Each structure stands twice: as C-alpha cells, then as structure tokens.
Amino acid sequence: MCLAIPGKIKSIEYQYDGLVRMARVNFGGIIKEASLDMVPSAQVGDYVLVHVGVAISIVDEEEAEKTFAYLREIGDLDELTESSQIDRHAV
C-alpha cells in the first residue's frame, strides 16, 4: 500500500486548461504520469518518489549517499571488508 518508487522526470506539462501540473516520469524504462502538486519545485531531471500517481518527495541525492557512508561512519568498514571476504558464507 505504501509502495512508492523513485523515477526521473522526463518532461512536465499542464493539463485541464492549465489547472494541473503533470510530469512524465521514467521508472527504469517505464514511463508513467505523475502529479507534481505535492512537489511544486520539481524540475525536469529531478528524481521524485511517486506513490499512486502523485510525486510525494524529491530524492535528495546528497542524502542518498549517506546510506553508503554509514558503515564507514561506524569506523570499521576496512576491517569489516576484510572479514567479509573470509566469512562470506558464514551468515
């Protein structure tokens, strides 16, 4: 129900005599329409998270990197990488 998928805005157009701002969003090759009412600052090229035909958030690309930096922030990524090569099948 709360499934939402990030996609890239390919184009933006106004519908219903200019009443509604809609985007064409590319989800890995599949293009679908999405309302931009909830993300008025979204522009062509932005990644947006789309849920039931409505873009609900712009993906923050800098913040997206933080997930990958989290293990490093813990302070033992190098050690972990070494052990993961040894223990790859241990878990």
Partner 1 sequence: MKHLTEYRDPELVEQYIQELHRTATRPWTIMEVCGGQTHGLVKNGILNLLPDLVTMVHGPGCPVCVTPVNLIDKAVYLAEEKNVILCSFGDMIRVPGSTKSLLDAKAGGADVRILYSPLEAVRLARENPDREVVFFAVGFETTAPANALSVVQAQKLRLKNYSILASHVLVPPAMEAVIQDDDTNIQGFLAAGHVCAIMGTGEYGPLVERYKMPMVVTGFEPVDLLQGILMVVRQLERGDYKLENQYTRIVRPEGNPEARRIIEQVFEVVDREWRGIGNIPGSGWAVRAELADFDADRKFSVSIPKVPECSDCIAGLVLKGIKKPRECSQFGRACSPERPLGAPMVSSEGACAAYYHFSMSELVND
* Interface contacts to partner 1, rule CB under 8 A: 1-6, 8, 16, 19-20, 27-28, 32, 35, 37-40, 47, 49, 51-54, 56-57, 59-61, 63-64, 66-68, 70-71, 74, 77, 80-81, 83-84, 87-88, 91
Q: Cα–Cα distance between 67 and 30 in angstroms, integer?
A: 26
Residues forming a β-bridge with 15: 20
Closest CB to partner 1 among residues 13, 87: 87
Closest CB to partner 1 among residues 11, 76: 76
Note whether 37 and 21 are within 8 A (CB). yes
Residues forming a β-bridge with 22: 13, 35
Cβ count within 10 A of residue 12: 14
| Residue 74 DSSP class | H
- How near is the Cβ of 44 to partner 1 at its closest, in Å? 16
Closest CB to partner 1 among residues 11, 41: 41
